[in-house]
């Protein structure tokens, strides 16, 4: 089983802990668009991405969204296993952004291993600190950055993730990532288009002047 190669602290677990983990691990494959955790779903378990891409987002009571962070190959999601820790008092939703294969570790098994293994607990600490940093960055953006800076930064990041300057994204989807209504996105994209930073067509945004977008981000 190649989970061992993906889990960075595998060698630091005892033989009994490795056995326990191996015995409860499940592999799961989902299609793009599948919601793998959320909506008061029971404790799904920890997810480790083998291949594909997951998106973690917050959902408001009235259905608005904002993207918190992405999980790529080898990334692990703790918050789909919030029952693992008493102090996790919030809910997020996780959706496959591409066809994705992942391992699922039951929360209770992981909690049990963490209780005895300092390496496992410290690994978990680092993951949590890393997600915390993502959310603090986002908070800074939402609170103090202008929308043009956030949109320009988002487009550049997407181009980087996808490895192309032609992004297949609707204005609605962009709004869900950034936590803004579609109309606000459309208005700003039109402005970007007028300035020659992007070219718009049905369902795609093409970045024409990444240098210009970068200058907007820097403010």
Contacting positions for a second copy (CB under 8 A): 58, 60-62, 64, 66, 85-90, 114-118, 120-122, 124-133, 135-140, 142-144, 179
Q: How far is CA 127 from CA 8, 124, 174, in A?
A: 12, 5, 26
Residue number with CB closer to a second copy (53 or 67): 67
Q: CB of 197: closest distance to a second copy in angstroms?
A: 24
In the bound complex, what is the minimum distance in angstroms from residue 43's beta carbon to a second copy? 14
DSSP H or E segment with residue 158: helix 147-162
Which is closer to a second copy, CB of 57 or CB of 197? 57
Complex with a second copy: residue 177 or 198, whichever CB lies closer: 177
C-alpha dist (Å) from residue 83 to 70, 78, 88, 106, 147: 21, 10, 8, 10, 36
* Strands 76-77, 35-37: pairing kind: unpaired
Cβ closest to a second copy, residue 122 vs residue 164:
122
Closest to 54 measured CA to CA, from 66, 70, 43: 70
Q: Which residues contact 63 (CB under 8 A, 6 or more apart)?
A: none
Would you say 85 or 156 has its CB closer to a second copy?
Answer: 85
**Beta carbon of residue 147, minimum distance to a second copy (angstroms, whole number):** 13
In whole angstroms, how far apart are CA 100 and each of 6, 36, 49, 96?
Answer: 15, 10, 7, 6
- The CA-atom distances, in angstroms, between 209 and each of 148, 183, 212 are 15, 23, 5
CB of 122 to a second copy, least distance (A): 5
**Which CB atom, from 35 or from 121, has the smaller least distance to a second copy?**
121
Three-class secondary structure of residue 43 per DSSP: coil
Shortest spacing between CB 72 and a second copy, in angstroms: 16
């Amino acid at each position: 089983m190649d989970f061992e190669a993906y889990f960075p602290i595998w060698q630091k677990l005892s033989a009994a802990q490795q056995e326990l983990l191996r015995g409860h691990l499940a592999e799961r494959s989902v299609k793009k668009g599948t919601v793998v955790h959320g909506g008061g779903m029971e404790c799904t378990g920890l997810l480790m991405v083998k291949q594909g891409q997951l998106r973690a987002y917050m959902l408001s009571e009235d259905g608005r969204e904002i993207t918190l962070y992405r999980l790529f190959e080898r990334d692990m999601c703790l918050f789909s296993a919030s029952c693992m820790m008493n102090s996790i008092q919030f809910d997020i939703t996780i959706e496959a952004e591409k066809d994705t294969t992942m391992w699922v570790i039951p929360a209770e098994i992981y909690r049990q291993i963490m209780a005895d293994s300092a390496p496992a607990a410290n690994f978990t600490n680092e993951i949590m600190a890393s997600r915390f940093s993502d959310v603090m960055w986002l908070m800074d953006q939402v609170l103090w950055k202008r929308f043009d800076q956030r949109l320009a930064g988002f487009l550049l990041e997407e181009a980087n993730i996808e490895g192309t300057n032609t992004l297949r994204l609707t204005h609605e989807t962009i709004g869900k990532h950034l936590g803004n209504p579609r109309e606000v996105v459309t208005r700003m994209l039109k402005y970007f288009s007028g300035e020659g930073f992007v070219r718009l067509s049905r369902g795609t945004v093409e970045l024409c002047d990444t240098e210009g977008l970068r200058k907007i981000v820097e403010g």
